[in-house]
């Protein structure tokens, strides 16, 4: 299993911090639906959707068809100068699905890009640079986004370069914690450094699939607006159906800005900062030299794939499937792991699930390794690596889910 030869070659050419070459590193060569194959011919069931990207499954035929057609005509345009026509069609399709009557969008390639655009938008719209973020949050690693990402591991080497106008508040799991967090929010909003934006993940992903108690997001939104600041919902992970709703925030509020990424491009790099015209028009009209753009903005292949993804999302009812399969998966996980001393909690929303374990920090990585031996791909998450994160494609069949749960239960029991 794995390929020592590829690992050795990679080591010679890639910066050593990038790819973790563990005892067993599969180098992927093929993927279709929920199945992945590596260079040694091993087959895996992918319960991660490759960081949550393959929400419609790997290489969905309709999305591939869109990409192939686009590739036959135009693979690169001049995003903000001579825009590819397909960019317009994608923006229209996305805007139509957003909760505002007149939506404006800034496209990017990564989730970090979407967060950078949202933070800049909030500053332009409010004239304030203060930001409130939450402990445990992950908003990406570009310097602007990193300033709002909480985990020390990512921040420490660069901390002197990070904006120091970001306040972190506790992210609550219980109603009591929510009350205390809201009190702290009120203090932060009334503080001497005027806050322009509160940025929040409706369900924290990399912190270990942590949902706040019901009503928290609504209260955050109310307090944020009352203070003249904007609520940014970072839905890079939760968005586009993963939690059972198109936007996870929609259960409680309509945010002022929404960040999307991961699933949005159907497998190609595509992200978006979306908001209503009255907020987004804080950006001045372009004078011919946009103040926020990039070479690959509105990439034709990604936009074509994005259109394909939106079609599949609707035609195959992926959000509804995520809600239903999420309930099935949580039920199966609870049953399969019942009486397992290593398990603290099974939780999640839709197809964003976490199994929190007892045991030493990093235990989830060990489980992921054991799962791999059983042909299953899962990821470790959580501040101290005690959560196994599951974000499978919504196209997964119930039997495939059951197969994955069985393999995972075996992996968890092996570390008891
Ligand atoms: C909520 C959230 N925001 C932003 C990001 C950053 O996205 P990217 O890695 O594409 O820059 C991530 C990535 O995991 C994320 O989960």
User: How far, in Å, is the centroid of ligand 1 from the Cα of 118?
Assistant: 13
Backbone angles phi, psi at 391, to 5 degrees: -135, 65
Q: Which of 217, 208, 306, 295 is nearest to 256 (CA)?
A: 217
Q: Whose CA is nearest to atom 7 of ligand 1?
A: 111
Ligand 1 proximity of 138 Cβ (cutoff 6 Å): yes
User: How far, in Å, is the centroid of ligand 1 from the Cα of 377?
Assistant: 19
How does strand 166-169 pair with strand 130-134?
A: parallel
The pLDDT of residue 223: 98
User: How far, in Å, is the centroid of ligand 1 from the Cα of 111?
Assistant: 5
User: How far, in Å, is the centroid of ligand 1 from the Cα of 219?
Assistant: 24
Q: Give the separation between CA 188 and CA 190, rounded to whole angstroms.
A: 5
CATH number of 4-56+317-413: 3.90.1150.10
The pLDDT of residue 2: 52
Backbone angles phi, psi at 257, to 5 degrees: -145, 145
| Sequence spans of domains, the chain | 4-56+317-413, 62-315
Q: Which residues contact 370 (CB under 8 A, 6 or more apart)?
A: 410, 411, 414, 415
Q: Give the separation between CA 237 and CA 251, rounded to whole angstroms.
A: 16
Ligand 1 proximity of 400 Cβ (cutoff 6 Å): no
Residuewise pLDDT in 10s, the chain (416 residues): 457 899 999 999 999 999 999 888 999 999 999 999 999 999 999 999 999 999 999 999 999 999 999 999 999 999 999 999 999 999 999 999 999 999 999 999 999 999 999 999 999 999 999 999 999 999 999 999 999 999 999 999 999 999 889 999 999 999 999 999 999 999 999 987 899 999 999 999 999 999 999 999 999 999 999 999 999 999 999 999 999 999 999 999 999 999 999 999 999 999 999 999 999 999 999 999 999 999 999 999 999 999 999 999 999 999 999 999 999 999 999 999 999 999 999 999 999 999 999 989 999 999 999 999 999 999 999 999 999 999 999 999 999 999 999 999 999 999 98
Q: 3-class DSSP state for residue 78?
A: strand
| Residue with the two structure tokens 């299953």 | 376
Ligand 1 proximity of 235 Cβ (cutoff 6 Å): no
- C-beta of residue 65 within 8 angstroms of C-beta of residue 55: no
Atom of ligand 1 at shortest range from CA of 51: 14
User: How far, in Å, is the centroid of ligand 1 from the Cα of 234?
Assistant: 9
User: How far, in Å, is the centroid of ligand 1 from the Cα of 270?
Assistant: 12
- C-beta of residue 131 within 8 angstroms of C-beta of residue 139: no
Interior angle at CA 203, CA 202 and CA 204, nearest 5? 115
- C-beta of residue 237 within 8 angstroms of C-beta of residue 243: no
Give the tokens for residue 114. 């979407």
Give the tokens for residue 164. 């120091």
Ligand 1 proximity of 139 Cβ (cutoff 6 Å): yes
Q: Whose CA is nearest to atom 3 of ligand 1?
A: 139
Rg (CA), the chain: 21
Instruction: Tell me the fold of 62-315.
Output: 3.40.640
Strand locations in 261-411 (E) = 271-276, 343-349, 352-357, 376-377, 379-381, 387-390
Atom of ligand 1 at shortest range from CA of 142: 11
Atom of ligand 1 at shortest range from CA of 204: 1
Ligand 1 proximity of 205 Cβ (cutoff 6 Å): yes
Q: Give the separation between CA 345 and CA 329, rounded to whole angstroms.
A: 14
Atom of ligand 1 at shortest range from CA of 141: 11
Q: Give the separation between CA 260 and CA 257, rounded to whole angstroms.
A: 10
Interior angle at CA 249, CA 45 and CA 267, nearest 5? 35
User: How far, in Å, is the centroid of ligand 1 from the Cα of 52?
Assistant: 10
């Amino acid at each position: 299993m794995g390929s020592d030869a590829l690992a050795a070659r990679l080591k010679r050419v890639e910066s050593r911090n990038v790819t973790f070459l563990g005892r067993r590193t599969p180098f992927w060569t093929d993927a279709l639906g929920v199945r992945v194959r590596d260079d040694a011919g091993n087959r895996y069931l992918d319960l991660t959707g490759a960081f949550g990207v393959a929400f419609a499954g790997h290489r969905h035929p309709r999305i591939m068809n869109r990409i192939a057609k686009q590739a036959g005509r135009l693979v690169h345009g001049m995003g903000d100068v001579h825009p590819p026509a397909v960019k317009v069609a994608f923006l229209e399709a996305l805007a139509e699905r957003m909760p505002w009557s007149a939506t404006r969008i800034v496209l990017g390639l990564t989730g970090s890009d979407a967060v950078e655009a949202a933070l800049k938008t909030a500053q332009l719209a409010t004239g304030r640079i203060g930001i409130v973020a939450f402990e445990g949050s992950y908003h990406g690693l570009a310097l602007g986004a990193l300033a709002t990402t909480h985990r020390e591991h990512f921040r420490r080497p660069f901390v002197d370069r990070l904006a120091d106008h970001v306040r972190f508040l506790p992210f609550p799991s219980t109603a009591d914690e929510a009350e205390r967090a809201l009190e702290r929010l009120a203090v932060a909003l009334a503080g001497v450094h005027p806050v322009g934006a509160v940025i929040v993940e409706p369900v924290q992903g990399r912190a270990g699939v942590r949902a706040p108690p019901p009503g928290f997001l609504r209260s955050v939104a109310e307090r944020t607006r009352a203070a003249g600041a904007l609520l940014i919902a970072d839905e890079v992970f939760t968005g586009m159906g993963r939690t059972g709703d198109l936007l996870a925030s929609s259960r409680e509020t309509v945010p002022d800005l929404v960040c999307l990424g991961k699933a949005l491009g159907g497998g190609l790099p595509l992200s978006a900062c979306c908001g209503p015209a009255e907020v987004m028009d804080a950006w001045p009209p372009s004078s011919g030299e946009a103040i926020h753009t990039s070479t690959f903005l509105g990439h034709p292949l990604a936009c074509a794939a994005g259109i394909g993804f939106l079609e599949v999302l609707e035609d195959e009812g992926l959000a509804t499937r995520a809600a239903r399969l999420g309930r099935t998966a949580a039920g199966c996980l609870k049953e399969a792991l019942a009486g397992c001393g290593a398990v603290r909690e099974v939780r999640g929303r839709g197809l964003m699930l976490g199994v929190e374990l007892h045991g030493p920090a990093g235990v989830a990585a060990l489980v992921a390794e054991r799962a791999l031996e059983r042909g299953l791909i899962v990821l470790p998450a959580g501040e101290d690596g005690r959560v196994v994160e599951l974000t499978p494609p919504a196209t997964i069949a119930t039997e495939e889910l059951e197969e994955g749960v069985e393999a995972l239960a075996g992996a968890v029991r092996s570390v008891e």
